[in-house]
Homo-oligomer: A and B are copies of this chain.
Amino acid sequence: MAEVIHMRIGELSEKSGRTERTLRFYEELGLLVPASRTKGGFRLYDSGALIRIHWISRLQELGFSLPDIKEFLTELQGTPDGPAMMGDLRSAYAVKLAATRATIGRLRALEAELAASIDYLDTCKSCAPSTHKTACRACREDDHAEMEVPAMVLAVQTSSSIG
Contact = CB atoms under 8 A, between A and B. Distances in A.
A83 B129 contact: yes
Interface in A86-119: 86-87, 89-90, 93-94, 96-97, 100-101, 103-104, 106-108, 110-111, 113-115, 117-118
Contacts of A160: 32-33, 35, 48, 52
A130 B81 contact: yes
Q: Chain A: interface residue count, which band?
A: 35 or more
Interface centre among A33, A115, A133 (most CB of B within 10 A): A133
A89 B54 contact: no
A29 interface: no
**Assembly of this chain: how many copies?**
2
A125 interface: yes
Interface in A13-59: 32-33, 35, 46, 48-49, 51-52, 54-55, 58
Interface of A: 32-33, 35, 46, 48-49, 51-52, 54-55, 58, 61-62, 73, 76-77, 79-87, 89-90, 93-94, 96-97, 100-101, 103-104, 106-108, 110-111, 113-115, 117-118, 121-122, 124-125, 127-136, 139, 151-156, 158-163
